[in-house]
Structure 1
Amino acid sequence: MHVAGRIEDYALIGDMQTAALVCRDGTVDWLCLPRFDSHAIFAGLLGTEEHGFWRLGPAHADDAEPPAATRRHYRGDSLILESEWDTPRGTVRVTDFMPPREGAPQLIRIVEGVSGRVPMRSTLRMRFSYGRVVPWVHRHEGRTIAVAGPDSVWFDTTADTYGEELTTYSDFTVAPGDRVAFTISWEPSHKQPPALPEPEQSLEATEDFWREWVEHCTYHGPYREAVIRSLITLKALTYAPTGGIVAAPTTSLPEDIGGVRNWDYRYTWLRDAAITLSSLLRTGYREEARVWREWLLRAVAGDP
């Protein structure tokens, strides 16, 4: 059984309109769709597994704690997360990312066999509205869809899936060179289904996006690798359609254990955004500053 980790156990991925947090054991415990300030479909970070999560990693006994990844890192200068497990049966890699949005928002997870033959399990428990709503999950033209009111989430994979206890499972084994992709896509429930995902093409496009963005960085001083990683994180907190910059992708986490300060940080706080802008401007990212200034002027326009 997975228990939500410490905040430092989570890695951030995102598409500059929302973000997900991935724990060391391969569990996505936080994701709001379609925007930073939308309701969460995975809110295990704030509660328990009953509030939604998506675990993808080596199979383990149901009563055992999922194993943490042996190592993990971001691929180069990108927001593509790679986690690797060394198991008695071999080594497996999971690549997690959210492609910069052109259509429906997507979270893509690609499992790759590195050595041996490793049994894997995907456990997907979608709970809408911060865990309050259990969606209607069914099959539609070969795809799995979860619907609740105005929201729908589509789940696509080539692996076999089955439902049990209001949860969607996939059990499969990967050998060297095997690649098995899983994608969830959000769409308003009254609209047509989102396009079928193309995980490999999306991975390439996401890597190209971040590489090109990092090339604009003008900083070449000490600790450049850490500076680049910080800039990528700040870019991930920028809401692309408007230029607003959220203080953090989460809400309701107390600043200290048992404390009462548990603000919603999914807003543009002027102080935080100003510090972010200072960092971006000093490293060559003037466009982000320009669009944030335009956002600010719109936000304060008219009678307050």
Structure 2
Amino acid sequence: MEDYPLIEDHGLIGDLQTAALVTTDATIDWFCCPRFDSPSVFGSLLDRRKGGHFTVRPVADTYTTKQLYHPDTAVLVTRFMTEAGAGEVVDFMPVTGTTATDRHRLVRMLRCVRGSMTFEGEIAPRFDYGRKPHELHISEHGALFTSEDLDLAVHTVRAPQDERLLSILPGDNDDLRFSLSLRAGQQRGLVMESAPGGPPHEVRLEEFERLFDRTVRFWRSWLGQSTYSGRWREAVERSAVTLKLMTYAPTGALERVSLICSSVDRMCLSGG
């Protein structure tokens, strides 16, 4: 279908209670919350006009992208290259544990690796498959989307007493737009949280990095239990992580969501 990304052009992230699909240009176009079988919040994979999305992209006339996983983890890296520099969007979901919860965090870490880069993006949720309206409330430290059945907070990230590099503005249809200008070595981002239980707040950069480190440690510890050491080790381990991402931790059941299954089939075959 014209203007729709192929299923194979996605990475998968999750916290073992739900999951999100991320395109190779860093758009989240499928995300159900708070569980795998919940209604979608982002669903532009199925309906580009009404489905909802969470986009991030560099402000540049032309750019190239490359997507890969942080080694031995379910942390996804989308790398952008422009004439002015190189930057990354690092996506992951901190694992929530084995007790069912409505609280889930989707972390989008934005980095400038070389030169300079200005990112821009849009958060356009469409609750209950786009059937239920929402309201946007912007505060000093982020934003809150409220709907009939689910609230989503967007927390901003900043180092203590550092300049506010991230700017957020209301968009059309109570959506949220943001922009962020970084120099080489700088890192900021957003944490989107469901059922937050309070207003948006600033996430300290140190806590941001701890979330990343804990998520990396979890996946490497889990994968470290594997005893396979054959010639297909990389493909087998990537397939194992992908299947683990589809497991609902409170019951141990393997979710059979058709869209995610199709993505998994492709990723396992490619070793990606």
Higher strand share: 2
Higher-Rg structure is 1
Residues 194 and 210 of structure 1: CA distance in aligned 2, closer, same or farther (over 3 Å)? farther
- 1:78 aligns to 2:73 (yes or no): yes
Selected match of 1:179 from 183, 187, 210: 187
What do the CA deviations read for 1:159-190 (whole angstroms, capped 9, x no partner)?
A: 110012122111221111110111110007xx
Of 17-26 and 162-171, more deviation after overlay is shown by 162-171
Separation in structure 2 between the aligned mates of residue 100 and residue 144 of structure 1, nearest angstrom: 23
Residues 32 and 100 of structure 1: CA distance in aligned 2, closer, same or farther (over 3 Å)? same
Separation in structure 2 between the aligned mates of residue 146 and residue 93 of structure 1, nearest angstrom: 26
SS of 1:48 mapped into structure 2: coil
SS of 2:240 mapped into structure 1: helix
Shift of 1:247: 2.3
SS of 2:253 mapped into structure 1: coil
Give yes or no for contact 1:136–1:146 (8 Å, CA) kept in 2.
yes
Shift of 1:57: 1.8
Q: Which amino acid aligns with 1:97?
A: F
Structure 2, unmatched stretches of 5+, are 158-165, 264-272
Give yes or no for contact 2:142–2:201 (8 Å, CA) kept in 1.
no
Separation in structure 1 between the aligned mates of residue 3 and residue 92 of structure 2, nearest angstrom: 23
Separation in structure 2 between the aligned mates of residue 141 and residue 121 of structure 1, nearest angstrom: 19
Alignment of 1:1-304 (within 5 A): 3-60=3-60, 69=65, 71-101=66-96, 104-139=103-138, 142-158=141-157, 159-166=166-173, 167-187=175-195, 191-192=197-198, 197=203, 198-248=207-257, 250=259
Of 223-232 and 82-91, more deviation after overlay is shown by 82-91
What do the CA deviations read for 1:131-185 (whole angstroms, capped 9, x no partner)?
A: 2223111135743110111210001114110012122111221111110111110
Corresponding residue for 2:269? Answer: none
Q: Which amino acid aligns with 1:31?
A: F
Query: TM-score by structure 1 length?
Result: 0.75
SS of 1:54 mapped into structure 2: strand
Residues 82 and 157 of structure 1: CA distance in aligned 2, closer, same or farther (over 3 Å)? same
The Cα RMSD (Å) is: 2.5
Give the paired residue count: 247
What do the CA deviations read for 1:191-231 (whole angstroms, capped 9, x no partner)?
A: 54588653211100000000100110011112100000000
Q: Which amino acid aligns with 1:17?
A: Q
Q: Which amino acid aligns with 2:226?
A: C
Shift of 1:29: 0.1
Residues 196 and 114 of structure 1: CA distance in aligned 2, closer, same or farther (over 3 Å)? closer
What do the CA deviations read for 1:99-146 (whole angstroms, capped 9, x no partner)?
A: 101572011011111111112102111110112223111135743110
What do the CA deviations read for 1:253-284 (whole angstroms, capped 9, x no partner)?
A: 9x8xxxxxxxxx9xxxxxxxxxxxxxxxxxxx
Give yes or no for contact 1:14–1:97 (8 Å, CA) kept in 2.
yes
Shift of 1:48: 0.9
Separation in structure 1 between the aligned mates of residue 120 and residue 129 of structure 2, nearest angstrom: 24
Residues 170 and 10 of structure 1: CA distance in aligned 2, closer, same or farther (over 3 Å)? same
Greater RCO between the two (CA within 8 Å, min separation 6)? 2
SS of 1:162 mapped into structure 2: strand
Give yes or no for contact 1:26–1:68 (8 Å, CA) kept in 2.
no
Residues 192 and 182 of structure 1: CA distance in aligned 2, closer, same or farther (over 3 Å)? closer
